Amino acid sequence: MKFLDQCKIFVKSGDGGPGIVAFRREKFIEFGGPDGGDGGRGGDVVIEAVDGLNTLIDYRYQQHFKAKKGGHGMGSSRTGARGEDIVLRVPVGTQVLDDDQETVLADMTEVGQRVVLLKGGDGGLGNEHFKTSTNRAPRKATPGWPGEERWIWLRLKLIADAGLVGLPNAGKSTFLAAVSRARPKIADYPFTTLTPNLGVVRAGEEEFVLADIPGLIEGAHDGRGIGTRFLGHVERTRVLLHLVDGTQDDVQAAYRTIRRELKLYGGGLAEKPEIVALNKADALSPEELKEKLTKLKRSAKKPVMVMSGATGQGVPEVQFALLDVIKQARGQEAADAEAAARRIRYAPIEE
């Protein structure tokens, strides 16, 4: 299945059905009268987050989606049938943006979440609504109201607990394959990873989701390489694992390059908790490892873990370090949610 994380589509809700002009004509009823029913309401445009999807490829070859119109009103005061809704099923993590690509209309973060994006038009009125004491036989009915229409953008941001960042060939895909059942493409040339990958990592008795994105290079914020297009997939993560290739000549420059690109991208990535790991330790002599570890600590200004995704050296320690940060973040989020609920519960009622 091809990966697509952004697309533009046209959506339109259904028009309301027209009301009808009708009169009662029944045996033994001396005075009939108007009984034209109302038109049915048009269908809505609904966005639904479903499980089992991780791409927007379904919207690559069809860009126009329209809900059904409401049915005509009928005699005997019968209302027309309601138009059928159109439901757009998207992966969890999809954002719905206005045509300006900035205004967020909906953020689908949970399985089963449904949002009515556009409401269908109301049905028109039948002639029974227009009878008065002086107009006993009105021949007036109104058409249905038109539905809404607009162009929208769908943008997928994968939901993961931790994200992998680093230069090309830093060993991100190797690490993901080592700690999960994901099978990303692994090769000895840059930009092996062209689309984001997700894997479920098990640390002890607990699990978390890890996202691997294509490597960044200097100038990625200006579109160099693959650019920062896929950085949105780690915006929702609770922690970043920054892998630095230990076989590089200048590990300090490699670290600073990624940090600069994260800062220039924005989205709060530069402020996220970060675990730094010096990768490919198996390819370094003890002297080289000590020297590069010292330099990297000096640039990162924090402890640096040592690991090798190929041999498994230090990998469990990195897994549990990520899990610790994730658990702390989850606990803080739960506490914040409880505090917000408490404030709402005990907020004074304004008279």
Question: Angle 286-300/251-265 helices, nearest 10 degrees?
Answer: 30
Last residue of a domain, one of 127, 156, 185: 156
Total length of the chain = 351
List the chain pLDDT tens, one digit each, 351 residues. Answer: 467 788 999 999 999 999 999 998 877 777 778 989 999 999 999 999 998 887 888 898 899 999 999 999 998 889 999 999 999 999 888 999 999 888 999 999 889 999 999 999 999 999 998 998 888 889 999 999 999 999 999 988 877 888 888 888 888 888 888 888 767 666 554 555 556 777 888 888 888 888 887 777 666 556 665 556 677 778 888 899 999 988 888 989 999 988 988 888 887 888 889 999 999 998 889 999 999 999 999 998 999 999 998 888 999 999 999 999 999 888 887 887 788 777 776 666 555
Specify whether the backbone of 113 is left (phi greater than 0), alpha (psi in -120 to 50) or beta.
Answer: beta
Which residues, in sequence order, are bridge partners of residue 208?
201
80 and 39 Cβ atoms separated by less than 8 Å = yes
Distance CA 54, CA 62 (A): 18
Residue 90 belongs to a domain with what CATH number? Answer: 2.70.210.12
194 and 141 in one domain?
no
* Distances from the Cα of 256 to the Cα of 45, 127, 297, 334, angstroms: 46, 73, 12, 33
Evaluate whether residue 286 is within a structural domain.
Answer: yes
CATH number at residue 171: 3.40.50.300
User: What is the value of pTM for the model shown?
Assistant: 0.73
Residues 229 and 138 in one domain: no
168 and 148 within one domain:
no
Tell me the residue range of the domain where 4 lies: 1-156
Does residue 52 sit in the same domain as residue 180? no
For residue 323 the two structure tokens come to: 């899990």
> Do 177 and 230 fall into the same domain?
yes
Mark whether 145 and 52 lie in a shared domain. Answer: yes
The verdict on 17 and 52 lying in the same domain is yes
Residue 344 lies in a domain: no
The total domain count for the chain is 2
What is the SS3 assignment for 202-214? EECCEEEEEEECC
Last residue of a domain, one of 126, 156, 186: 156
Compute the distance between CA of residue 114 and CA of residue 90 in angstroms, rounded to an integer: 10
Q: Are residues 250 and 151 in the same domain?
A: no
Q: Are 316 and 286 in contact (CB under 8 A)?
A: no
Phi/psi zone of residue 166: left (φ > 0), alpha (ψ -120 to 50 degrees), beta?
A: left
The H or E element containing residue 106 is strand 104-108
- Determine contact, residues 281/289, Cβ cutoff 8 Å: yes
> Closest Cα partner for 248 from 348, 168, 331, 151?
168
Q: Are residues 327 and 247 in the same domain?
A: yes
